[in-house]
C-alpha cells in the first residue's frame, strides 16, 4: 500500500507554538476566576482529558439528502481510508480513539487486518451497526416492507442473520456492543398491525440478544419517523424501554438526538432512562426540523448542555448501571466532514466540562426552596462560562492541537488526500 499522508506530532507541536501565548493567558485568567468560586481548574482539565466520544465511520464521507450529494475532494473510498481520516481527527482533538462501524458499508475482507490497521493508528472499535434499511446486491429478500418485523418469517430470519454477522465481525475487531436501528414502519393507516409488528420485533431481536457474548450490550435505537412516514415500529423511548426490559440486562436504549419530534424534552428522557438503568448512550447530532443530522451543538447548544447536566449529575451520584456510550451520528453535506467531526467532539467536551461547573449544592437548594429563577441562574452561570482554555490545554497536554481546525487547515491534509484518492463516481461513503 503506497504511503499515505498523515499529520505527525512534530507538525502539531509547531502549530501549538503559534497558539501558546493566548491559551496560557486565558487559562491563567480563568483559573483565577474559578478559584474565586473555590474551583480548581485542574479538576476540570482532568474531566476534559477523560472525555471520550466515538466517531461514526459513515461520518467521514460527505453526506447528502434524497435530493443530492455533493462529494468533496479526497473522499475516503473504503473502510481503511475512513480510518485514516478518523486517525487524523484523533491526532488533533485526542478525545476520539473509538470508531463505530456500519455493516455492510464497512464489511472488512479481513477483520483482524482491519483491527491491526486501526491499532497502529491508536484507534479501536465502539458499537457495531447493522443495516436492514437498504437492500444489498444479490440479497435474497427485500427489506422494502420491513426487516425484523416483516410479516414474512424468511425476511425476519435474513435480518437476524445479518445482525449476528455484525456481532461476529465485532468480536474479532474488539467491539463490545451492537446497535440495532430498523426503519420498519408504514406510510399509510392500516398498513401495519401495530401490536403484531412489535411482537415480531421482540421475537427477532431476542434471537440477536441470544447471540451476544456475555460481556456485550445491545443498543436499541428509537426514531419517531423516516423513512416510514405514518408509523414507525420502534418510534419512541417508551417502546424502546419496554423492549430493552423484556430482553434482559444486556439490552439498553440508545438516544439519537435527531430522532425526536421538535421541542421534545430530550434531557428529561435521558433522566428517565438513567433512573431506570437502561441508558445505552447517544448518537449526538443536532437538528432544527427532522432527523437533520447536523453538527452537535450547532443549533441547540443549551439543550446539549442540559443533557450533559443530567449525565454529570448521574456520574457524580455514581448511579447503578450508568455506563453511557457516547457516539456522534451526523451527516456532513456542506462542510469538510473531518472539520465538522472535530468541532462536534469539542462541543461535546465543552458541554461536559460546563456541566461539571454547575454548583450542584446551590441547584439542589434552589430546587428544594422552589426558587425557580435561582435554579435556572445556577445552570446558566455554568453554561455561560467560557471553558475553551480548559479544552485547549487538555488537547495540548494529550498531544493534540490547541486549535484543531487551524492545524488541520495548515496541514493541507484534505489537499493531500485529494491527490491520493482520485474521485470515484457513484461511490457513496456518507449517508445519502
Ligand atoms: C438512523 C440512524 C442510525 C444509523 C443511521 C446511519 O437515522 O440514526 O443510527 O444506522 O442513522
Ligand atoms: Mn443514529
The model's pLDDT over 242-271, given as tens digits with 9 standing for 90+, comes to 999 999 999 999 999 999 999 999 999 999
Q: Which pLDDT belongs to residue 431?
A: 55
pLDDT band at residue 2 under the 50/70/90 scheme? low
283 touches ligand 1 (CB under 6 Å): yes
Half-sphere exposure of 114 (CA within 13 A, CB side): 23
Looking at ligand 1, which atom is closest to the CA of residue 256? 8
In terms of Cβ atoms closer than 10 Å to its own Cβ (0-12, 13-18, 19+), residue 369 is: exposed
Average of per-residue pLDDT across 388-406:
98
| Pocket probe mutation, ligand 1, options 287, 329, 430, 432, max atoms within 8 Å of Cβ | 329
Residue with cell 408509523: 231
Ligand 2 centroid–CA 373 distance in Å is: 35
What lies within 8 Å, CB to CB, of 222 at 6+ separation is 234, 235, 236, 237, 239, 240, 253, 254, 256, 259
Regarding the beta carbon of 181 and ligand 1, being less than 6 Å apart is answered: yes
**Is the Cβ–Cβ distance between 390 and 30 less than 8 Å?**
yes
Per-residue pLDDT, 426 = 58
Distance from C-alpha of 169 to C-alpha of 337, rounded to nearest angstrom: 26
Residue whose Cα lies nearest atom 2 of ligand 1: it is: 181
* Integer Cα distance of 116 and 170 in angstroms: 13
Task: Give the pLDDT band of residue 11 (cuts 50, 70, 90).
Answer: very high
Q: What is the pLDDT of residues 330-378, one digit of tens each?
A: 999 999 999 999 999 999 999 999 999 999 999 999 999 999 999 999 9
Amino acid at each position: 500500500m503506497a504511503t499515505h499522508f498523515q499529520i505527525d506530532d512534530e507538525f502539531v507541536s509547531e502549530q501549538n507554538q503559534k497558539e501558546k501565548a493566548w491559551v496560557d493567558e486565558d487559562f491563567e485568567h480563568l483559573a483565577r476566576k474559578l478559584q474565586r468560586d473555590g474551583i480548581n481548574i485542574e479538576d476540570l482539565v482532568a474531566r476534559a482529558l477523560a472525555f471520550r466520544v466515538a466517531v461514526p465511520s459513515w461520518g467521514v464521507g460527505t453526506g447528502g439528502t434524497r435530493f443530492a450529494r455533493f462529494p468533496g475532494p479526497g473522499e475516503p473510498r473504503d473502510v481503511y481510508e475512513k480510518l485514516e481520516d478518523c486517525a487524523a481527527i484523533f491526532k488533533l482533538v485526542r478525545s476520539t480513539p473509538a470508531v463505530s462501524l456500519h455493516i455492510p458499508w464497512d464489511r472488512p475482507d479481513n477483520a483482524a487486518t482491519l483491527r491491526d490497521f486501526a491499532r497502529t493508528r491508536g484507534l479501536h472499535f465502539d458499537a457495531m451497526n447493522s443495516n436492514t434499511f437498504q437492500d444489498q446486491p444479490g440479497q435474497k429478500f427485500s427489506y422494502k416492507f420491513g426487516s425484523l418485523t416483516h410479516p414474512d418469517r424468511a425476511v425476519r430470519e435474513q435480518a437476524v442473520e445479518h445482525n449476528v454477522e455484525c456481532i461476529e465481525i465485532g468480536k474479532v475487531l474488539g467491539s463490545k456492543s451492537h446497535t440495532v436501528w430498523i426503519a420498519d414502519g408504514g406510510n399509510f393507516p392500516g398498513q401495519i398491525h401495530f401490536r403484531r409488528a412489535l411482537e415480531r420485533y421482540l421475537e427477532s431481536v431476542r434471537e440477536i440478544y441470544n447471540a451476544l457474548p456475555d460481556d456485550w450490550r445491545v443498543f436499541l435505537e428509537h426514531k419517531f419517523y423516516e423513512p416510514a412516514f405514518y408509523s414507525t415500529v420502534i418510534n419512541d423511548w417508551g417502546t424502546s424501554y419496554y423492549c430493552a426490559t423484556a430482553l434482559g440486562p444486556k439490552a439498553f436504549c440508545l438516544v439519537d438526538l435527531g430522532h425526536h419530534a421538535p421541542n421534545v424534552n430530550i434531557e428529561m428522557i435521558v433522566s428517565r432512562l438513567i433512573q431506570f438503568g437502561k441508558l445505552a448512550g447517544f448518537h449526538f447530532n443536532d437538528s432544527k426540523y427532522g432527523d437533520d443530522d447536523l453538527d452537535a451543538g450547532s443549533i441547540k447548544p443549551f439543550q446539549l448542555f442540559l443533557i450533559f447536566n443530567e449525565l454529570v449529575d448521574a456520574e457524580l451520584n455514581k448511579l447503578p448501571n450508568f455506563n453511557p456510550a457516547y457516539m456522534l451520528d451526523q451527516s456532513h453535506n456542506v462542510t469538510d466532514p473531518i472539520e465538522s467531526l472535530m468541532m462536534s467532539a469539542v462541543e461535546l467536551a465543552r458541554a461536559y466540562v460546563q456541566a461539571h461547573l454547575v454548583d450542584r449544592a446551590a441547584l439542589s437548594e434552589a430546587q428544594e426552596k422552589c426558587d425557580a429563577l435561582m435554579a435556572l441562574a445556577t445552570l446558566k452561570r455554568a453554561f455561560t462560562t467560557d471553558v475553551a482554555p480548559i479544552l485547549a490545554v487538555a488537547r495540548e497536554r494529550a498531544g493534540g492541537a490547541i486549535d484543531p481546525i487551524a492545524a488541520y487547515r495548515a496541514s493541507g491534509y484534505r489537499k493531500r488526500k485529494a491527490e491520493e484518492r482520485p474521485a470515484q463516481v457513484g461511490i457513496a461513503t456518507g449517508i445519502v
